Structure 1
Amino acid sequence: MARWDFFLVVDFEATCQEKGRIYPQEIIEFPAVLVDAATGSLVSAFRTYVRPRHHPQLTAFCKELTGIEQSQVDGGVGLGEALAKLDARLAAAGVARNRLAVVTWGDWDCKTMLESECRFKGIPKPEYFDRWVNLRIPFEAAFGPGRRNLQEAVKEAGLQWVGRLHCGLDDARNTAYLLVEVMRRGVAISITGSLAPALAPKEEGDEAPSQPQPQPQPQAQRVGLNLGMWAGGAGALPCCCFCGVASR
């Protein structure tokens, strides 16, 4: 039986400026493409624009790079609502979260950008975003080692680039096409990155402790596929993310 029923390909766009880092950086385009793991078909696409809270006015550089207009983010939703909208879309499609794998080109989207902003703003996120496939790794298994950006990888795979570079939805679609090509070449797709804590191995002969153990403190509730809307509050952890434009 196949490990995954669906792949969810994401490619976030975020606030940025031409010189130096913008702090805190915030997602402004939230796209996702759903891929059937059995057939390789692109099932559906999702996109919502996200209204930045700390730097609501986009820089000229950001608008030129991403093609996103100020009016689009002004009419956007909060990050929490964007996550909830995607969750509802997946629920309506009957996607089981334990049979879904998130796919990105690189680790930045899940490991750095989404995680940092959710922590900074105190926004819970669906647990399927805590594990992901960095497509660079199976791509290298198919085409050999070497550093390429997404557009170079698409060309090397013999595919035609579709749409506008640094449009999040177009980047996600091209990543999805690349994923399908890698699968077509027989490379197994497995999780390559994770934010979930590793379980300590249990040694042989370990016995349950005789004394009662202190109970862990309750953590922020994780979001399942049927969660409704939620709003983000102030977070205690700093945001230290970076757009990574040069490395994509």
Structure 2
Amino acid sequence: MAYLTRIPVGRIFGFWSRSFSSPIKNPFFSSTLSHVPSYKISTTAHYSSPSPSPPPPLSAAMNTQVFSSSSRWRPMCLYFTQGKCTQMDDPSHLEKFNHDCSKDLQVNGTDIEKKCSQNVDFLLVIDLEGKVEILEFPVLLIDAKSLSLVDFFHRVWHDTAQPFKEVMQQFEAWLSQHNLWEKEKGSRLTRAAFVTCGNWDLKTKIPQQCEVSGIKLPPYFMEWINLKDVYLNFYGREARGMMSMMKQLEIPLLGCHHLGIDDSKNIARVLQRMLVDGALMQVTAKRNPGSQKVEFLFENRIQHPSRQRR
């Protein structure tokens, strides 16, 4: 997650330029990603959040290394993440850049057996980046049963004049492709929930961007899971951000902090670890469609009184 007062935009753009094999011209394209097959969902029940339960004791799996990793980490090809890489047959390009988003999100099969049943089938990890307007929009689709990456949606752009409305149209097509949302019904997500690291992304930034772009706030952004609040109630200890959660869980950082696609993967790794430890993911915040007022559902939650944007 990136706040308005702390985004190192020059640093992000510098990393983007290194991750692309050529200068960015127009990262948008009209169709959804096709490199991962569509995942069908059999149920259409909507997600509801029960009251938070008392924090359980720390799991014995806390000190277990859950995630496997390769010997050498490589940055994602940001053309590939948007379905536009034209150098898939170039060995030097493939050696330099990663083209497998799931590579950093592997979970041991034996650890999956430790997790508890979830109220949703899929979890959508989102972590926006941008200074004044949103400049990076990454979403990872995680299967709540297998904990594996099903697919991802990713858009980056340098020019704030790029139409956010077009990004939302592409994102909605992607959601529909996975049967997570029905545009005709204009409803909330189907058997899925957004996962954020804090409230800023969906409480503050998405509504601001929709207003600037002259579009109505989509109904699927009306509720979300703030991973920091679930973390606090599950482990019984406070972690005020992604880095502190990773440090406490002894999960090494992969990639560039404040690059949205990398932060999303690291947040997903924290999510996977919590699920393996037995955490139940529950909606922590809901927006009233009429008043637009946000209700926080956990009495025990992370609060930042000095930073209202969070």
Normalised to the residue count of structure 1, the TM-score between the two structures is 0.63
Distance 1:40 1:198, change over 3 A: farther
Change (3 A) 1:105 1:150: same
What SS class does the counterpart of residue 190 from structure 2 fall into? helix
Higher mean displacement: 100-109 or 144-153:
144-153
- Equivalent-residue separation in structure 2 for 1:151 and 1:34 (angstroms): 21
Written as runs of structure 1 = structure 2, the 5 A alignment for 1:159-170 is: 159-170=251-262
| Count, aligned residues | 171
Judge conservation of contact 1:80–1:124 (CA < 8 Å) in 2: no
Question: Of 127, 151, 157, which residue of structure 2 is paired with 1:44?
Answer: 151
Counterpart in 2 of 1:85?
Answer: 170
Q: Any unmatched runs of 5+ in structure 1?
A: 16-24, 54-76, 200-241
77-86 or 33-42: which moved more? 77-86
Q: Which amino acid aligns with 1:81?
A: E
Letter in 2 for 1:172: S
1:171 offset after TM fit, Å?
A: 0.5
Q: Does 1:136 align with 2:235?
A: no
Contact 1:8 1:102 in 2 (8 A): yes
Give the secondary-structure state (helix, strand or coil) at the position aligned to 2:145: coil
Structural mapping, 1:88-107, within 5 Å: 88-96=173-181, 97-107=189-199
| Structure-2 residue corresponding to 1:14 | 130
- What is the deviation of 1:95? 2.6
User: Are the counterparts in 2 of residues 6 and 34 from structure 1 also a CA contact under 8 Å?
Assistant: yes
The 8 Å contact of residues 222 and 289 in structure 2, kept in 1 or not, is answered as: no
Aligned residues of 1:131 and 1:196 also touching (Cα < 8 A):
no
Residue of 198, 202, 209 corresponding to 1:110 = 202
Query: Match of 1:4?
Result: 120
8 Å CA contact 1:141–1:187 kept in 2: the answer is no
Q: C-alpha offsets along residues 118-152 of structure 1, whole Å, 9 cap, x if unaligned?
A: 12332124312111000001111233232432112
Within 5 Å, give how 1:111-190 maps onto structure 2.
111-190=203-282
Any conservation in 1 of the 2:255–2:262 contact (CA below 8 Å)? Answer: yes
Aligned to 1:202: none
Q: Deviations over 1:84-106 (max 9, x none)?
A: 21221122223342211011000
Q: CA separation in 1, counterparts of 2:213 and 2:180?
A: 27
TM-score (norm 2): 0.51
Q: Is the 1:10–1:33 contact (alpha carbons within 8 Å) kept by the matching residues of 2?
A: yes
Name the amino acid aligned to 1:47: H
Match of 2:39 in 1: none
Residue 169 of structure 2 aligns with an amino acid whose one-letter code is: A
The answer to whether residue 124 in structure 2 is matched with residue 32 in structure 1 is: no
SS at match of 1:139: helix
Greater displacement, 189-198 / 3-12: 189-198
